[in-house]
Amino acid sequence: MDAVSEQETKSWEAVQTVGMRWMFVLSFILLGTVFALQGIGVIQSPEQTEGKQRSVQAGGLRCDEPVWNFGEVDSVKNPRLTHEFVLVNESNETVSVKKVRSSCGCMVVGDYDSELPPGGGTELQVVLQLPTVPQRVSYDLAVQTDKGVLPLGVFGTVVVNRGLYTVPAVVSFGTVRPGEMKERSVRVIRYDLSPIESVTVQYPQGMVYAVEQPPYMGSGVVVRLQFTPNSAVPEGRFNEFIVISTLDGSAPDLLVPVFAVVQEDRVDVID
């Protein structure tokens, strides 16, 4: 059974490696397509859409700029963005804002006036935590009042940056007996493929690591992990993380899941 588990683990790691490579290639193709469409005017840039938004009226409120296009942002340099939507009560009655719903937990709504008299207004502040992975993002906000729902939108592009990723994305040691040593390696790479001098790793009990610098530039670094369950590692499923940090601090820490099954050999006794 241990040999089978070992083979399954290697096969799974091979699938992960190929999958991550294809995801990385497809992200570049997607971003290239977006930029090409912007060039021919199919997708408009923030400069092109500025001043051309149509106001939205719903729930007794009006917003003249209901869509926030934050453009292209390096989320490593600018991990958080802030924006204010201006809401105006254009009805003849007081409008009560009951709640504001967000389609993403990465978007937090700040303070706003919940009771708006006729002709009154408020600024609805939004703080957006951007992902480090380069991608096109699109989120929704719903301002629920006692008279209906006012829809708002947020979108933009996280460009290729100095953030980190690993191949494979998950480290699996398979089944490991107490006292046995198993080794796995992950390659740490920047999204912009710029060189990494070195990294440090925070690791759980029973594990050690070494960092190797490949001889060619732009390939990142290799972190070699050794796992030997000791008395501090109980039997059963081992679900932990390693935390990878760059020495220059130019990228956010990266959490990489680590899995194993710590199990003694079972010997069946036949009477």
The CATH code of the domain that includes 256 is 2.60.40.10
Based on the structure, what is the number of domains in the chain? 2
What is the percent of the chain where pLDDT is above 70?
77
| Per-residue pLDDT tens over the stretch 112-164 | 999 999 999 999 999 999 999 999 999 999 999 999 999 999 999 999 999 99
Q: Euclidean distance between the first and final Cα of the chain, in Å?
A: 23
Q: What is the pTM of this model?
A: 0.70
Of the candidates 93, 127, 158, which is a domain's last residue?
158
Residues 6+ apart with CB under 8 A from 155: 67, 68, 69, 70, 136, 137, 138, 139
Asked if the model's pLDDT at residue 24 lies above 50, the reply is no
How far from 106 is each of 79, 126, 156, CA to CA, in Å? 11, 10, 14
- At residue 267, the pLDDT reads 47
- Whether residue 23 sits in one domain with residue 105: no
- At residue 248, the pLDDT reads 86
- DSSP E strands: which ranges in 74-206? 80-89, 95-102, 107-109, 115-116, 121-129, 135-145, 148-158, 164-167, 171-176, 182-190, 199-202
Find the domain containing 230 and state its range.
2-29+162-262
Of the candidates 140, 158, 176, which is a domain's last residue?
158
